[in-house]
Structures are given as C-alpha cells and as structure tokens.
Chain A
Amino acid sequence: MSKVRVLVGTKKGAFICTADGKRTNWNIEGPYFGGWEMYHLKGSPADPNVIYASQSSSWFGQVIQRSDDGGKTWNTPGSTEEERMTMFGFPGGESNKFVYDGLAGTHKTFDGTEVPWVFKRVWHLEPSFDDPHTVLAGVEDAALFKSSNGGKTWEEISGLRKHTTGKDWQPGAGGMCLHTILVDPKNPNRIYVAISAAGAFRSDDGGATWKPINKGLISNFMPDPDAEVGHCVHRIAFHPSNPERLFMQKHWDVMRSDNAGDEWVEVSGNLPSDFGFPIDVHAHEPETIYVVPIKSDAEHFVPDGKLRVYRSRTGGNEWEPLTNGLPQRDCYVNVLREAMAVDRLDDCGIYFGTTSGEVYVSPDGGDHWSPIGEHFPSVLSVEVQTLP
C-alpha cells in the first residue's frame, strides 16, 4: 500500500510525519535540527530516500543538510568523516558556501538607495526530476544556485541576477528572496522562478538567459502600471501535464497565465480576499487549484476568524470555501508560501501548515480536514513525498 512522508520545516526545527494511504494515523519524528529555522525540506523525485534541507539561523548562517535514508540520519554534504578520508572527497564546509558569481554589485532597498548583494539564506530547494545529486537553490538576496554533486558545492546560475533589471530589484517585507523554482518536466531547459519583490522570470535555455514575465500584473504600490519588475509575487504553481498554464498568488490578486507567463489575467473571482501566500494544484485535476486567503497585507491572518482553504475547479474565478474540520471561529493564523503541498495518491491529499504550528491534511482533495499535529513551532514549509 502506498504511503506518504510529510516534511515539515518550522522556525525551531524540522519534523517528519508518515502515514499509510489512508492518512489518518500519523507517526511524527523530530525535531531535527532543533532550534534552527528550517526554511525548506524537499525530497528527490529520482530517489525519495534523498532529502535536502535548508537549515538557517541569524546567528550561525546557512547550513545545507542531506539525508540519504529518508530522513532517519542527516549529514552536511561532503563533511562526513568517511567522505573526508577519501581521495576524491570534497573539502568539508563547502556545502554551506553560497558565493555570488563575480562582483556581486548592488540592488535597491526599501528607501530606494543601493545596497550590496549579500547572501542570507536558502529559501527553497528544488531537486532534479532525474538525478538525485542535482538540486537548485533559491536564496536571499535573490539568486539561483545549482549543485550537481549532492549539495557538496554550489555555483550561481548568474544570468538571472545579472539581468539588466537586477539593479532595480528590492526586497519585500520578508527579504529579497527567490522562493519559487519550477522546472518544466517536458522541457528541463525551461525554468520559472519568482522573487519578492522583483516578480516572475523565465529561462528557456537552462538558466543562461532570463526574461521578466510580469505583463498583466498590477501592483498598487508602484505608480507605473506597466512596470516590468518590482511585483511582489508570493507563489507560482503549475500542473506537470500542462506546464504552460501557471497559477500565481501575488501580494494581492490570484492570477493565471495560459502562455508560460507571457501574459497574466486575474482570477480572484469571489474570494473573500485575494491576498495570500501559497497556491497549489490538485495532483490529477489540472484546473483544480487551492489558496488560503489572508485578510490583508496589513493583517496577516485569515478573515473573520475562520480558517478556510478555497478551491477552484475551473482554474480560478469560481471559488468554494473548504471548512470541514478546520477552525471556524477565533482563528487568526497565517499560512506561508512554502507551507502547502499535495500528494499524488489516487485520492489526492492536500496539506498545509500554519504560523501557529498546526499541520492539516485532507485525504480527499479538500472536502475533509484533520490535524497531523497541532503544536509544532510556527510552520515555514510543508512538502510531501508519495512513496510506494
């Protein structure tokens, strides 16, 4: 029988939750890396035993961790005693080293002045479809890095940061982070990324060159309605069967593009608020999407004290609230951009985690919800692996 492994990153460590295909009885292991901010954990599609984790701290900086046994044990890649002893072992500690290519230069900051590009942390790890040792990393200050040796060393894919608009990018409230990485499964040379608050970008040549794909986005905090960059994109998702159709949760507005981001249209429809962070797509229904509306940019909690996931079966515009099993009074949580995921079981499971430490699962596409755990530290990220 198939089973699932849910990877939960929190502000104070990581947790791994497992269950069989019914997804009702959960075993919770952790905390791993207790006390550290775990921005993201993600398993390799090519080898589900390989999991990458971003371990971060304002005190001690960035550490990359990798497990080769499904999360039971972890190592900083290249730093195990065994690897250091071999002739071909990489120098330890290089796995934590994210150095911008060439002169880092400057970008804009909140007051419009220019500040140097400074690496702060890894927000997102995106393992390759077909090679467990290849992984992309989205970092703050915004840049894209790649490792081809299981995380032992990292090189910047610098064509993105060196785009002519790079000097005009500026941070959102959470920092100038590259948080979304989508690789087209039909054409791995096509990569989408999103940066707060620069916008969305696409490469059609494996990362060598990039173009902003923000036409149709409207951001009230910018006077120019046709601004090429500067948009605070919170998340982008697609269905693997139709990777040209993109769904976006922006700072305000839920958007859709049917042409790989060349143009966007708003599909917020009847949502109670179109501000939010995560967006995801049902595993088997390419037009069924999920968001969690948040009251506003000034009040980062769900509207009316009710925790409601909204589902559209029409690719946007027409939305229905999903509430069965979720608190419907006195609830004031947020759900962050990395904190929603879907599994690939026949009856698609939907997962999300809250800033107050609950992780919920719906084993039936959103109709019924129950908690996997209710007392985790504040949840930063949720990913799920569907296992044989």
Chain B
Amino acid sequence: MIRVVLPHHLRVLANVGAEVELDVQGPVTPNTVLDALEEKYPMLKGTIRDHVSKKRRDFLRFFVCETDISHDPQDAPLPEAVASGAEPFYVVGAVAGG
C-alpha cells in the first residue's frame, strides 16, 4: 500500500483528504505511483503530469523521505520506506507566488 499526500487544490478536485492510499503492482516508481493515482482519481489526469508526455508540471515537486526527487528519472525506484507505506509520496505545489 502506497501513501500519497496531495496539495490542497488537488484534494478538492478529487474529493479526498490530505492522504490517499493506492495499490501499485510491480516496481514502485514516481510514474507507477502516479499511474495508480490517476487510475483511481481520473480527474487528476493532466494536473500533475502532462497528458501525453507524462512530464511533471513545472510548478509541482515530488518529495520522499525528506528528499526532493523532482529532477530524478520518473521511472527510478522509490525508497523501500515509500514502497512499504512507512513514508508517503508527497506531491507539493512549488512556492511561486499567487
């Protein structure tokens, strides 16, 4: 079971609380976590990654285990602490005004 923490606006859009739980089959990577997130909450398609290229949107960041992994390959395995559910996968809105 994977835990994902979403920013406020995406919680409202998906009608969920601060944290959602997902089942991910196979390797646990940012892309497989986000695939499972979008499968369960399809209204989030396009809000975190581009619809087609799957590239992370510019003003979003991915944090795990107190580390910013935003610029790491999105197919790289996530730490065991995230794969086991001990630590969440954070989707964070960048501080960029507004």
B93, A59: Cβ atoms closer than 8 Å: yes
Q: Is A195 an interface residue (CB 8 A)?
A: no
Q: Which residue of B lies closest to A62 (CB)?
A: B46
Whether, in the assembled complex, A36 has its beta carbon less than 8 Å from a beta carbon of chain B, the answer is yes
Is the C-beta of A225 less than 8 angstroms from some C-beta in chain B? no
Contact with B along A66-108 (1 / 0, CB 8 A): 0000000000100100001000000111101101000000000
Contacts of A62 in B (CB 8 A): 46
How many residue pairs link A and B with beta carbons under 8 A? The number is 59
- Say whether B42 faces chain A, with CB atoms less than 8 Å apart: yes
The answer to whether A79 and B9 have CB atoms under 8 Å apart is no
CA A79 to CA B41, docked complex, whole Å: 9
Chain B hits for A91, CB < 8 A = 42
Please, which residues of chain A bring their CB within 8 A of the CB of B94? 59
Q: Is B51 an interface residue (CB 8 A)?
A: yes
Q: How far is the CA of A61 from the CA of B57 in the complex (A)?
A: 8
Q: Which among B13, B59, B96 has the greatest number of chain A C-beta atoms within 10 A? A: B13
Contact call B43/A93, Cβ cutoff below 8 A? yes
Whether the Cβ atoms of B43 and A59 lie closer than 8 Å is no
Task: Tell yes or no: B64 within 8 A of A by CB.
Answer: no
A60 with B38: CB separation less than 8 A: no
What are the residues of chain B within 8 A of A291 when measuring CB–CB?
Answer: none
Interface size bracket, A side: 10 to 19
Q: A93 and B52: CB pair below 8 A? A: no
Known: A61-B57, A76-B43, A93-B44. A99 touches B51 (CB 8 A): yes
Q: How many residues of B contact A (CB 8 A)?
A: 23
Q: Does A63 contact B (CB under 8 A)?
A: yes
Mostly, the B contact residues are loop
Q: A57 near B: Cβ within 8 Å? A: yes
Asked if A166 is an interface residue, CB under 8 A from chain B, the answer is no
Flag if B9 contacts A36 (CB, 8 Å): yes
Please determine whether A58 and B42 come into contact, CB atoms closer than 8 angstroms: no
Asked whether B9 lies within 8 Å of A92 as measured between CB atoms, the reply is no
Report yes or no: A92 in contact with B47, Cβ–Cβ below 8 A. Answer: no
Hey, which chain A residues are within 8 Å of B51, CB to CB?
Answer: 96-97, 99
Q: Are the CB atoms of B42 and A99 closer together than 8 Å? A: no
- Given A92-B42, A93-B45, A63:B13 Cβ within 8 A: yes
Contact residue among B42, B44, B45, B60 (Cβ-Cβ distance under 8 Å from A59): B60
Q: B54-69 toward A: CB 8 Å interface, digit per residue (1/0)?
A: 0001111000000000
- Residues of chain A with a CB closer than 8 A to B10's CB: 60
* Residues in A42-67 with C-beta less than 8 Å from chain B: 57-63
B26 within 8 Å of A (CB atoms): no
Binding site for A on B (CB under 8 A): 7-10, 13, 38, 42-48, 51-52, 57-60, 93-94, 96, 98
- A residues sitting closer than 8 Å to B (CB atoms) are 35-36, 57-63, 76, 79, 84, 91-94, 96-97, 99
27 examples of A-B residue contacts, CB within 8 angstroms: A36-B9, A58-B58, A58-B98, A59-B7, A59-B9, A59-B60, A59-B94, A59-B96, A60-B48, A60-B57, A60-B93, A61-B46, A61-B57, A63-B13, A63-B47, A76-B43, A91-B42, A92-B42, A92-B43, A92-B45, A93-B42, A93-B45, A94-B45, A96-B45, A96-B51, A99-B51, A99-B52
